[in-house]
Amino acid sequence: MPIKVPDSLPAKEILNNENIFVMDESTAFHQDIRPLRIAILNLMPTKETTETQLLRLIGNTPLQVEIVLLHPKTHTSKNTSHEHLESFYKTFEDIQDQYYDGLVITGAPVEHLNFEDVNYWEELKDIMDWSRRNVTSTFHICWASQAGLYHHFGVPKYELDNKIFGVFPHTTEKQNVNLLRGFDEMFFVPQSRHTEVRREDIEKIGDLDILSESEESGVYIVASKDGRQIFVSGHSEYDPLSLKYEYDRDKAKGLDIDLPKNYFPGDNPEKLPFSTWRSHANLLFSNWLNYYVYQQTPYDLGAGI
């Protein structure tokens, strides 16, 4: 939330120059406030886990947030019960005539497929096109970030020889960007993927900025210049044990999976890992909700986007 100060306070200019968000009294007086409307398109098979992880982060703000959960109608879910979807989820068809302040599109374990072979691809393309017209800012996670960069900007994804798997140090690439406000110079983020997007492809697109990267795990945060699309390759929302779960799962299947890097104490999978990315995750989501959603979205949603 911005700091509200008298219009003529000298500190206002100093803080403005430091990119601290200060709102003068006259602007604050005219600001109308209502709950934010955020939709979550949950493409993960483990829907209940992901709901909890995302709501934990989206809930960590003084703003009131109304959530609608969405699942793709054109995919029959194997791992989430019909009852759960019936009780708590809507589909795009139900909400397509509405407007939202924010949309989160989750990851999905479909990286090995061409985008066009994902059975809900046509529906997802419609949702991504709709998001340009009906949503103030959309936050794409992991596979969804690759899908969004491909659909909106033609950026390809590439198979990796080895899965990027672990918790990696990341750095910021730009100064004075609201999404990065308060980030440490180096921070940790879980990555768990078999594909990547590449800096050289993104740099060709004038409408995109690379905001954060990791020497080892590559591009992390990309944003459209207008802030209406955020693409995040990692899983800051993961619980402390999410990577352990994926590791144990793949081991049990007999897959050739390396230990997640920088994760188990002493690289000993018998020891419980601890999280080093929670504060980063909270900051990333609250910066997005504040600066890209709340401060940008019109009071009268339908009239303004």
Ligand X SMILES: CC(=O)SCCNC(=O)CCNC(=O)[C@H](O)C(C)(C)COP(=O)(O)OP(=O)(O)OC[C@H]1O[C@@H](n2cnc3c(N)ncnc32)[C@H](O)[C@@H]1OP(=O)(O)O
The contact set with ligand HSE (CB under 6 A) reads 109, 111, 192-194, 246
Of the candidates 22, 108, 177, 281, which one interacts with ligand X according to CB under 6 A? 108
- At closest approach, how far in Å is the CB of 145 from ligand X? 8
Contact partners, residue 305, CB within 8 Å, separation at least 6: 99, 133, 134, 135, 136, 297, 298
Among 143, 168, 187, 188, interactor with ligand X by CB under 6 A: 143
Give the residues across from 209 on adjacent strands: 223
Q: Is 89 in the site for ligand X (CB under 6 A)?
A: no
Q: 43: which 2 tokens? A: 């493409």
Q: How far is the CB of 239 from ligand HSE (least distance, A)?
A: 13
Q: Which of residues 252-291 bind ligand X (CB under 6 A)?
A: none
Q: Is 78 annotated as a binding residue?
A: no
| Residue 163 among known ligand-binding residues | yes
- Residues with catalytic function: 142, 235, 237
Q: Which residues contact 213 (CB under 8 A, 6 or more apart)?
A: 170, 171, 173, 199, 219, 220
Which CB atom, from 227 or from 260, has the smaller least distance to ligand HSE?
Answer: 260
- Contact call for residues 70 and 39 (beta carbons, < 8 A): yes
Rule CB under 6 A: say whether 233 interacts with ligand X: no
Binding range to ligand X, per CB under 6 A, among 111-119, 165-173, 182-190, 282-290: 111-119
Measured distance CA(59)–CA(75) in Å, rounded: 28
Q: Select the residue interacting with ligand X from 4, 34, 225, 249 (CB under 6 A).
A: 249
Closest CA to 80 of 108, 55, 112, 122: 108
Q: Please report whether residue 107 would count as binding ligand X according to CB under 6 A.
A: yes
Q: Which part of the chain contacts ligand X (CB under 6 A), choosing from 29-37, 56-64, 116-124, 180-188?
A: 116-124
Q: Which is nearer to ligand X, 46 or 279 (CB)?
A: 46
From the CB of 168, what's the least distance to ligand X, in Å? Answer: 15
Spatial distance between the Cα atoms of 1 and 62, rounded to a whole number of angstroms: 8
Check whether 261 is labelled as a binding-site residue.
no
Which residues, in sequence order, are bridge partners of residue 232? Answer: 141, 221
Under the criterion CB under 6 A, does residue 296 sit at the interface with ligand X?
no
d(CA 98, CA 94): 9
Q: Does 46 bind ligand X (CB under 6 A)?
A: yes
Distance, in Å, from the CA atom of 2 to the CA atom of 168, rounded to the nearest integer, reads 31
Using CB under 6 A, which of 131, 138, 191, 192 touches ligand X?
192
Nearer to ligand HSE, 228 or 244 (CB): 244
Question: Would you say 111 or 201 has its CB closer to ligand HSE?
Answer: 111
Find the residue with minimal CB distance to ligand X: 107
Query: What residues line the site for ligand X (CB under 6 A)?
Result: 44-46, 75, 77-80, 107-111, 113, 117-120, 142-143, 192-193, 246, 249
Q: Which residues are annotated as a binding site?
A: 163, 192, 249
